[in-house]
Every structure is written in structure tokens, then in C-alpha cells.
Structure 1
Amino acid sequence: MKHFALVFLLAILVPQECFHVSVEARDDFVRTRGIHFMLNGYPYYANGFNAYWLMYTASDPSQRFKVSNAFREAASHGLTVARTWAFSDGGYRPLQYSPGFYNEQMFTVRPSLIFIFFLPFNMSFSCWTCYVCIFYFECCLCVVGMKGLDFVVSEARKYGIKLILSLVNNYENFGGKKQYVNWARSHGQYLTSDDDFFRSPVVKGYYMNHVRTVLNRYNRFTGMHYKDDPTIMAWELMNEPRCTSDPSGRTIQAWITEMASFLKSIDRNHLLEAGLEGFYGQSTPQRKTMNPGFNIGTDFIANNRIPAIDFATVHCYPDQWVSSSNIQYQLSFLNNWLSAHFIDAQYHIKKPILVAEFGKSFKGSSSYERDEVFNSVYYKIYASAKRGGAASGALFWQLLTEGMESFQDGYGIILGQSSSTANLIARQSRKLYLIRKIFARVANMRRWQRARARGFSGSGGGNGGRYIDN
């Protein structure tokens, strides 16, 4: 009954223009309308998690159960979005081991490599026979090969979890921009800095090829191309892009503009975000005082105003960024940081904003302090959401499951252990779900009222007073 009363209260208090809800085809793609995410015509809020390790772990058939367990535990706690890597460039068990060449266990394999492998064993056969064998092997591999990223997408779909897939790393982990630059150097390019990732036409060509390959990937588990799969909520151009060699921000601005336009030329079904941490730049010098001592060539306002970028992101690690301070100061920094970004997203960028990474390490701190950080982030999200603001959810760093001690970086949370933090996460999921249902009912109430008004003017009796819930 109290929820029903809240529906009427919101119908009175929430402005009509706050949500422009209309009946849409149920295609299950998350979209944006103004400062809100929308799913099948209704506001959508993301309570979720980061798990960079999903593809890497799924590439080993004996370990895929950990991916399934993670999604199962996440769904049982109401989590709806996972952010993970769609890259692994060079190094050990790579997705892309050379520009344009991919690993089957992670993704797919080039037939030329199979030819090299088979040729010594088929010297007594004709060349035609060799090619027949190669083709047959490739087909079999496509059918039975355990492709890591394909499996992740399939399992996410099974458990009703949307994915944000990041396409390259700023850092050396899993290759990143350094690996791309080294590939270009090995092909004769004279590059002096890893930041040439953003400037070199050759390196940009490598990256664009990777984008094209991933977006056009056909997933044999789901029977869909990635660019057509609504399981994917959004693409991320880069995990935490930084260009310290150009603090003016012009290099990053030009790169995001070019790559966002390129990606959208291939895929207009999905949302796109840049992967920003939220540091302010030259476009808002008065805001730069909020940055925790970083000047890395990004600009939260200007970068997110690029038309092909659909929503803003912000990261927050007060225990790293203001590490010399006590927990009270860290929480104060956190609240001010989020408040400023939520306001700027709503009134200056005019797009939704997602807290794409946040957390607190348990190393050197208590579970109480970690819970205080989670409480602060979740309260800010909830307060914004219930009044129709731009804040649309948060993804903690990071989700693990049993038997993943080697991935523990101090921030890992195992939901199956029923910790106080896990309980906070589940509670936030319920609160955001309730807000979505309430706003859906408010919208349906208004739709019914309009239909009833038309009925009284001679068009019939509307829908008979029934609510249409989603």
C-alpha cells in the first residue's frame, strides 16, 4: 500500500517533463532520452559491477564455471550491468596477438595459421587436399572452439545482465596503448611516446580494425552479431584514457571525436561512452580545483559533449586519490566529487551519467569503512534517481567468485560470502528497481488519464482503467 501511495505522490511531485515516456517496440536495447537511460520505453537504472577477468577466464574451458557462478550470484543480488574487457593485446593468452590476428580460444583464428600448422603433415597430399583439410579444421574449430568472449556474452544474456564492453586499455595490463605503439614500431614507425596511440594514423588504423572486428563478430552461442545483440548495453572506447603529453586536452578530444564517429558508422544500435574517470579540463578551469592532483589531458565536460558519446562516466577511488587523508576526508571528497559530476551531467552535458568504477580496498581498512564508501555512492545515486536526475547507476570494482584468490587486488567482493557489503549491494538493487517500477506506473497513470480524457471527448473509454506494467 505504501508503494501505491508513493506512486500518487510522485505523480504529483515529479514534473511532467521529467520523463518523456512513450510506447516503444520492445527490442531490449538500452537507449538514452535526455538525461536518462531507457529500456523498452521506461527509465532504466544500472546497479552493477566490474569484472575485467570474464573473457580471460572463459577462454579456459575448465574455468568457465566461474563466469557462470559470477553471473548467477550477481543476478541473485539484483545486479543488472557488468563492465568487462573486450581486449587482450599481445602477451600471455591474448585475444589479439598481432594487429588483425586473433586467438580462437579467446575469439577466432586466421586460416593462414592453420595452413602453417597442417602443411608438414600433409606433404603427401595434393595442395587441393591440404586446403580441404584446412577448411574442415576451421569449420570444426568454429563449432566446438570455446570462445571466451562469445561465452561471456551468452552467459550474461542467460542471466539477464547487460554488458559494457571496453575496447582497449590505457595501461600496460592486457597490452593497452603501449602494445599498439610497439606493434607500429616493429613495422617501421618512428614513435616517441605511448601517447602516439592517439596520434599515429597507423596505430589508429590498428585500433579501428579491432573495433570493426569486435562489432562485426558473429557469436555462435547466441546466433547474433555483437552489433545486433541487446545483451550489450554499451561500448567503451578506452579504459581510463590519458594523454599526459598534451595536458591541453586537444589530442584526447580529437581522438574521441574520430573514434566515436567511426564506431557509430558501424553500430547505431548500442550506446557509446569514452571511458573517462571524470577529471576536469580546460573547458571548465574553475572545476579543475576539484581534480585530486591529476592533469592527464582529459576534459570531463568537453569530451562528453561530443555528439556521438551517449552518456558520461565518472570513476572514484578516494583511498587512492587522497590516500594521505582519513576516512572522513575521503568520504567528503567522494560526496563533493559525485555531486559536481551529477550536476554537470544534468545541466551542462545534458546526458545520463554512470559511476563506472568505484570501490575501497580492504587492505589497511575495515569492512565498516568500505561499507561507508558504498553507502555514500549508493545514496547519491538513489537521491538523484528518485527526483529524476541524471545519475543512473554505479558499478563497483570488482566482483569475484570462489576460487579466484589470484585475482584479488584488495577491492574484490564475493557476493556468496553474504558480507555486509553484499547486503548493501542487494538493497541498492531493490531500491533502484522500485524507482523504475514507480516511474513506469506514473507514466502509465498519465497515459491512462490522457486516454480517459479522450474517451470523455467522444473517443471511447480508453483502456478501461487498467494499468499497463512492464
Structure 2
Amino acid sequence: METSYREEEARRKASLLHCIFFFLLGALAMAAAIAVLHESSYWEWRCNRLTDIVVDGDDGDGPSSSEVVDGGGEWGMVRTRGAQFVVGGGRPFYVNGFNTYWLMVLAVDPSTRGKVTEVFRQAAAVGLTVCRTWAFNDGGWRALQKSPGVYDEEVFKALDFVVSEARKHKIRLILPLINNWDDYGGKAQYVRWAQAAAAGAGADAFFSDETVRGYFKSHVTAVLTRVNAYTGVAYRDDPTIMAWELMNEPRCASDPTGDTLQAWIAEMAFHVKSVDPAHLLGVGAEGFYGPSSPPARLRGEPQRRLRPRRGQLRPQTPRPRVRFCLRSPVPGELGGVRGMPVLLAEFGVSTRGRPGRRSTRPSRDAFIEAVYGAMLRSTRRGGGGAGALLWQVFPEGTDYMDDGYAVVLPRAAATAGIVAAHSRRLQSFNSRCAWSCRWGCNKRDNDTAETTTAEADVDVSFHHEL
């Protein structure tokens, strides 16, 4: 009798323990579900904060994203939506990138072609996703364009190789189409070709001379319609190319009003978009201070109306619309520029130079971390900080081209660690934002009407070297 009672008591205690266990399990499951819903709502709010910004000048009736020929999936064309870059069905694309401007020249020579693959492999290993490199070399040594409309096929194949290798390593390209400076030919070479210099014209005749403008338009068409010898894909259809830049750091010092440069930008932007409406388009200018800037800021400025700071960014073409901005990092100014993504196209610190201006590797690393930190703070609060491009990444064995800014990743473990950590943070943000936004953002994309060619977005850009 006593044994039976004890057995019954033990069964009751076991049953009570089971009840408590399952109650606690249910409570934990409910808490986890609430946490997931809260996290999803938080990230959905953050994504919406990033995607619902409308560019000044839009009337709200038109679409907020660029017309694209999208390859679909992860490797579709990069486009803009409010203060974001997006790919595929609306997945956010925050950029950790780099500059290596001379890739085409190295790819011409079979003995140095492997350096192109090497730098892409090393960059991909630390999570870098975008490379800015020249798509021009006019006249002179290893010229792509030997004379107006006459191209060296071997050099064009070298550029094909660069694009092909970038695609293999999941790295996208920003390709400037000409240089403001004399290196690699530049605008002065076009003026010499047109013999405008014989009439006493300087290099700035590039922006106003009708013959020169015709030469440049023909060059743009030749590059954009080029069919890659390695992939069989025309450049204008290749999502490996993230964006075109009209010129590296365009300036027209002979017209301090900026009107000549403005007119040239508008004309050439229209031409690029008429040939290739799919890709983003940048100007490549540093930008200049605006009319309301303090007089000390305007002193010595070659383009006084075009150097924006502290919210004074002046779009360089009012129509078609401005879509993304490449510029220098200015503290507190990464909250978006007229609703556009902000991409810092050149930043770095020289480890050579005059005494007092020379930097050590630790100070360079501290600067890189500071820039990355500013970008992340902007990203986390839903601002316009869309990424940054380090100047510049070198493979080993190319020290003879080092301008003092070279980062050779295998020889700079601390720098590589900083870059890789930033890449992981951006990838985490991209993934979490895409997960919580997969319904709302995709629906927004699907409901977006197409733009006409006449209204196609022109993604005018600024950038600045630090």
C-alpha cells in the first residue's frame, strides 16, 4: 500500500515537471518569435528608410529606380533605389571596393597579364566587390585608341580580359572613359588630334570644340558597343560593369562659371544613355563649392559653382535625373545627397612624400578604419553612405608603379584584416536587409513602371581623391 502511494506520488511529480518543462519551452518559443518579428520590423523599417527617399525634382509619379536590362539574380545590373544601390530583385548592394587604374595596360603584355588575375583574387579574398579602373589610353605607349576611331585590337582584348577576370572573381567595375589629365593621353590628346591647338586653343577646347566632341562621342560608342572577345557579351549588356564615368576628374578652368562643363556633361550624358540605357553613369568630377559657401572656400576654386560641401551639392545635370554621387568623405555628411547613394570613389593615405606629410602603416590603417566607420554609421541609420573605394590595391611585384598609396594585401596583414572585417559587416547588412525586405522591396520593384528613353536616369557623380 505504501509502495503504491509512493509510486503514485512520483508519477504526479514527474507529470508536474513535464508540465513546467513544456510551459517554459513554449514561453521560450514565444519570446524567440517576438524577437524575430521585432528584428524583422526593425530591419524592414531600416530598408524602407533607405528605399523610400525620392530625389529632389521628382514629381512622385515616375519610377524611382533606373531602367535596366537586368540579367537577373545576384549578378544582375546594379541600379539605384533612393539612397541605395540594389541588384537582382532589390537586394541591397553596399560597396567595399578599390582602385587599380592600370589593369588594361598590364593585361596587354602576356608576361604581366597574370597580375590582373592576382589582384582580383587577392581583392576577392578580403571581400572587395567593386574595382575602378581605366577604360582608356589615348595615343602614346600601348594606346587603346591610336588615333580618332582607330583602335589597337590587342589592347581592346586586354580590356576584355580585365572585364572577364573581374566577372570570374565576382568583382564589378567602374570604368572612366577619358582622363582630364595628360596621363594616358587625356583631353589634351583629343585637342591635338583635332588640331585645335594650332589655333591657340588649350586643352579645355575639348569641352567646346565640335570636332573634338564628335571624336569623344565616337569613342564612347566604340567602347560601350564592344563585344568581349572572351565572353561574347557586349559591354553595354554586361552586369560586370557597375557604372561608366564620363571623365576622371573633369575640369574646365578656362570657364570659372562652370557653364561650359555643365553643357558638356549634359550632352555626353545624353549620348551615353542613348547607347547604353542599362548601366549607371557618373561624371567623375570632384564637385565644387556652391554660391553660399564662405568666401575663403571659393578662393582659388577653378569651378566655383561646382564644389559642394555641407549639403550644397549641385546636380550637374538637372534633367535627366541625378542618381548617385561619388565624392570625398566629409564628417557628418553621409546622410544622403539629394536622396542619392554616396560612394567615396578614392580614399587613401600615402606612406611616402615630404617630411611632415608622410604616413606610417598604422596611421594609414587608422584612416581606413575611420572612413569605414563613417560609412557604417551612415548605413546603420539609413543614410546615403553606399560604399567606398580604397586608393589603391596592388599585386606583388608592381612596386615600380607605386605612387605611395599602394596597398599590397599579402604584405599588409593588418590592413587586409581591416578590409575583410568591413566586408563581412557589409555582407551581413546586405543579407539581413534583403531578408526582411524580400516582400516589400520586391513588390515595390514589381510595381515600378518602366521609364522611357527620354526620361532615363543619368547617374551623375562626383568624386574626390584624399
Q: Same fold (TM over 0.5)?
A: yes
Match of 2:450 in 1: none
**Which of 370, 381, 393 is matched with 2:375 structurally?**
381
**Counterpart amino acid of residue 210 in structure 2:** P
**Which of 359, 367, 371 is matched with 2:361 structurally?**
367
Question: Looking at CA atoms only, which structure, 1 or 2, has the larger radius of gyration?
Answer: 2
Match of 1:339 in 2: 332
Quote the offset at 1:447 in angstroms. 7.9
Equivalents in 1 of 2:406, 2:261: separation in Å? 31
Equivalents in 2 of 1:447, 1:384: separation in Å? 20
- Quick check: 152-161 or 381-390, which moved more? 381-390
**Alpha-carbon distance change, 98 to 434 in structure 1, aligned in 2, over 3 angstroms:** same
Match of 2:55 in 1: none
Quote the offset at 1:17 in angstroms. 4.8
**Alpha-carbon distance change, 86 to 306 in structure 1, aligned in 2, over 3 angstroms:** farther
Matched, 1:76 2:125: yes
Match of 1:286 in 2: 293
**Which of 24, 31, 36 is matched with 2:84 structurally?**
36
Partner SS, residue 323 of structure 2? coil
Partner SS, residue 148 of structure 1? helix
Partner SS, residue 62 of structure 1? coil
Contact map agreement 2:166 2:240 (CA 8 A) in 1: yes
- Give the aligned length: 382
Quote the offset at 1:304 in angstroms. 4.2
Give TM-score scaled by structure 2 length. 0.76
Matched, 1:217 2:266: no
Give unmatched runs, 5+ long, in structure 1: 108-146, 316-333, 451-470
Contact map agreement 1:60 1:105 (CA 8 A) in 2: no
Match of 1:153 in 2: 163
**Alpha-carbon distance change, 51 to 12 in structure 1, aligned in 2, over 3 angstroms:** closer
**Counterpart amino acid of residue 38 in structure 1:** V
Higher relative CO (Cα under 8 Å, sequence separation at least 6) belongs to: 2
Contact map agreement 1:304 1:311 (CA 8 A) in 2: no
Match of 1:14 in 2: 46
Matched, 1:295 2:302: yes
Quote the offset at 1:245 in angstroms. 1.1
Matched, 1:247 2:256: yes
Equivalents in 1 of 2:289, 2:255: separation in Å? 14
**Alpha-carbon distance change, 42 to 396 in structure 1, aligned in 2, over 3 angstroms:** same
Quote the offset at 1:368 in angstroms. 1.9
Partner SS, residue 372 of structure 1? helix
**Alpha-carbon distance change, 194 to 236 in structure 1, aligned in 2, over 3 angstroms:** same
**Counterpart amino acid of residue 357 in structure 1:** E
Higher fraction of helix: 1
**Alpha-carbon distance change, 412 to 217 in structure 1, aligned in 2, over 3 angstroms:** same
Match of 1:390 in 2: 384
**Ranges of 4+ aligned residues in structure 1 off by more than 4 Å:** 3-6, 287-293, 445-450
**Alpha-carbon distance change, 61 to 183 in structure 1, aligned in 2, over 3 angstroms:** same
**Which of 345, 364, 382 is matched with 1:356 structurally?**
345
Quote the offset at 1:353 in angstroms. 1.5
CA RMSD, Structure 1 to Structure 2 (Å):
2.7
Equivalents in 2 of 1:232, 1:11: separation in Å? 29
Equivalents in 2 of 1:96, 1:245: separation in Å? 27
**What does the per-residue CA deviation read over 1:292-336, in whole Å, with 9 as the maximum and x for residues that have no partner?**
954346345334454444311114xxxxxxxxxxxxxxxxxx6xx
**Counterpart amino acid of residue 198 in structure 1:** F
- Quick check: 367-376 or 389-398, which moved more? 367-376
**What does the per-residue CA deviation read over 1:379-416, in whole Å, with 9 as the maximum and x for residues that have no partner?**
11111112221110000111100110111000000112
Match of 2:106 in 1: 57
**Counterpart amino acid of residue 28 in structure 1:** G
Contact map agreement 2:347 2:389 (CA 8 A) in 1: yes
